[in-house]
Amino acid sequence: PRCGDPLGGSPSLTQSRHSRHLAGCAAALARFRWQRQRDLALAAEQLRLARRELGRITGHVGAEDVLDIIFRDFCVGK
């Protein structure tokens, strides 16, 4: 298993980036809880950000991630 034996207790994070992404996910979820009563669009954005942080741990890469890399690393349209 990636994070240890689930029957053996709490999983351990083996990489500091996992910890960083989980912290980012938790922060986005906290912002979601605060914003869900105020602005549904902003709350939904926080859920998207939380999912993206988890995807960076699990290896799920979405189209948005690919486009971010293309526009960050390549000179497109210049």
User: Nearest 10 degrees: CA dihedral of 21, 23, 25, 30?
Assistant: -170
Q: Is residue 28 part of a domain?
A: yes
Q: Is residue 47 part of a domain?
A: yes
**What pLDDT digit, counting tens, does each position of 40-68 carry?**
889 899 999 999 999 888 888 777 777 77
Range of the domain at 41: 13-74
Q: Is residue 4 part of a domain?
A: no
In the chain, the number of structural domains is 1
Q: Is residue 5 part of a domain?
A: no
Model pTM score? 0.63
Q: Give yes or no for residue 10 having a pLDDT over 60.
A: no
The average pLDDT across 8-29 equals 81
Residue pair 32/40 in contact (Cβ under 8 Å)? The answer is no
Q: Is residue 2 part of a domain?
A: no
The average pLDDT across 19-26 equals 93
Q: Is residue 1 part of a domain?
A: no
For the ranges 6-10, 27-31, 49-53, 65-69, the lowest mean pLDDT is seen at: 6-10
